[in-house]
Amino acid sequence: MLDKIGQVIINRKYYKGKDIYSDGDIEDYLLEVCKQNRQMEVLDRSKEWPVLYHLSDIRENLLDWYPISKEDDILEIGSGCGALTGLLSRKARTVTCIELSEKRSLINAYRNKNCDNVTIFLGNFEDIIIENKYDYITLIGVWEYAGLYISGDNPYKLMLQKLKSYLKENGKIIIAIENKMGIKYWNGAVEDHNGLRYGGLNDYIGSKNVRTFSKQEIEEMLDEVGFDEFQFYYPMADYKLPDVIYSDEIMPKPGELRYYRCDYSDPRIYNFNDAVVCDQLCKDHVFDYFANSFFVICGEKDKKIVYAKYNKSRREKYRILTVICNENGDYHVRKKALDKAAEDHILSLKKNGELFAGSMEKLHVVEGEIRGKEYQMDYIDGIDIDSYLFNLRHKKEELLREIYKILTDYLMPKETDLFEFYITDEFRNVFGSIAPEHSKSLRVTNVDIIFSNLRLCNGRMYCFDNEWVFTFPVPYEYVIWRLLVDFYEKYAAYLRSSIEWLDFIDYFGISKGNNRIYREMDVCFSRYVYNERFYLDNYRQMIINNNITWS
């Protein structure tokens, strides 16, 4: 009845000898890959969605930020190939998995064979006798399949009721599920479960036993089951491959949701400009209804972490997690390394803030402190400059004047603080060997002064990102160019029809020749920060038909 693969225990007591759910022959391949410990090698060269979905470390972003402790016991329903089991094992005291598929359980066991706190029960959840109580029960991409395995008029509600009986006092159920009203489904994405475009929007007519829900439908069921408290989060682009987690307290702003061509499972038809529609949803405060998926904590209301963002496409030494925390109404930002190699980068943030503070008379730097291995600083509330300028997107002259005013009032150093730029070896290492002649530099330069990193509070302009601060000469005009290109490219759908890029920067005194040089500098800087090739790009799906006017 009991097998052991490495340290992982597999309990076959409730297994009926047949797998009824599978991705096909690819699972045989994944099993061999995990036996040989070749996951990252295969992930890096494959183009197949099942490989990405089952093996990607991006899957862990969904739960990595959430504060599970080593005193917690977890029941993972539908653990699959173990994409989250290893993470849960590292965070919790024990992890008990329930999985229908023997093959997937073997994949899980081999990839996590060094975890000494994991037990996998093979069999149908409804058949397994669960004797223990748990601090957390996870339903990650599982709840929508309840109709296949649980009998009754409302298997989705019945499943939650049954799971609730397995919770310890103050225990929580964690649900991740697609939103049937998600914006990607309106915009031509194949419905994740029945393979039909607009299948969820049409309320799964003709489909049986597998379905997802709108936010309101989930809330109603949680109320009926007796969860007085629950908290919604919104992973984007969705819960399967999230790079950012929003909450009801920290919602995306216009300009933040840019996921065009981030399609990895199926070819895509785009019906409209994703960016423009998402901007409107964010501006009108209805994003939560159209979010692509939900991450729901059932049994919790008083949350601490209200936002999380991952930078996994960077080089290992720069990969970090940024979270915004709310502790009794006190908001602050924490940054920590995602890889041991990035710990020095986190430690450098305090020094960067100290170096850059005072470099520009009218720009106030938000400085932080190192606490343990994390960098912590205050969260600045105020007028978000990026969002403020978005409101002028259809008013070209007013927009140009307002950008010019912000640059003049807050972001132009005094002439006495500038000196003649010259190329150093440090500059070549980061920005390459080409730079404009006769340019000026600050003694200390923050090249990431972009509008989304600026807030106006009580008449003072604050800069709250000190990651990319350099003490060697950097043309300051490049900093302004970088701010302008970030803004223009983010809102290109609105701006291109009224002003071309070269005319846009010419308004602010940047020449066509320098634009070309700064492009080359920026390519070098991007190579300095990011991996030249990130495996996720291998899996991008083609666009079937696109008749959209993007400008």
For residue 96, is it within any domain?
yes
Residues 174 and 58 in one domain: yes
For residue 185, is it within any domain?
yes
Query: Which of 264, 279, 301 delimits the end of a domain?
Result: 301
pLDDT single digits (tens) 161-213: 999 999 999 999 999 999 999 999 999 999 988 888 999 999 998 877 899 99
For residue 323, is it within any domain?
no
The pairing of beta strand 374-378 with beta strand 330-337? antiparallel
For residue 164, is it within any domain?
yes
Q: Write down the residue that tokens 């045989």 correspond to.
A: 28
- Whole-angstrom distance, CA of residue 402 vs CA of residue 508: 12
Residues 17 and 162 in one domain: yes
Burial of residue 520 (CB within 10 Å: 0-12, 13-18, 19+) is middle
Residue type, 254: P
The pLDDT of residue 368 is above 70: yes
- Whole-angstrom distance, CA of residue 69 vs CA of residue 88: 10
pLDDT single digits (tens) 341-355: 999 999 999 999 999
pLDDT single digits (tens) 6-59: 999 999 999 988 877 777 889 999 999 999 999 999 999 999 999 999 999 999
The helix or strand, by DSSP H or E, that contains position 53, with its residue range, turns out to be helix 49-55
pTM: 0.95
Residues 244 and 388 in one domain: no
In the prediction, which pLDDT does 432 show? 98
Residues 147 and 32 in one domain: yes
Per the CB < 8 A criterion, the answer to whether 440 and 421 are in contact is: yes
The pLDDT of residue 507 is above 50: yes
For residue 477, is it within any domain?
yes
For residue 422, is it within any domain?
yes
Closest CA to 138 of 43, 217, 30, 66: 66
For residue 350, is it within any domain?
no
For residue 170, is it within any domain?
yes
Residues 295 and 409 in one domain: no
In the prediction, which pLDDT does 530 show? 95
Domain CATH for 134? 3.40.50.150
What is the residue range of 42's domain?
Answer: 2-248+291-301
The pairing of beta strand 94-99 with beta strand 118-122? parallel
What would the mean pLDDT of 429-457 be, rounded to a whole number?
96
Longest dimension (CA), the chain: 80
Residues 89 and 215 in one domain: yes
Residues 407 and 297 in one domain: no
Residues 127 and 224 in one domain: yes
What percent of the chain stands above pLDDT 70? Answer: 99
- Whole-angstrom distance, CA of residue 432 vs CA of residue 528: 10
Query: What domain count does the chain have?
Result: 2
In the prediction, which pLDDT does 454 show? 97
With cut-offs at 50, 70 and 90, classify the pLDDT of residue 551: very low
Closest CA to 239 of 64, 21, 41, 490: 64
Residues 295 and 436 in one domain: no
Residues 243 and 387 in one domain: no
423: Cα separation from own chain's centroid: 37
Residues 112 and 10 in one domain: yes
Pick left, alpha or beta for residue 236 (phi over 0 → left; psi -120 to 50 → alpha; otherwise beta).
Answer: beta
In the prediction, which pLDDT does 549 show? 54
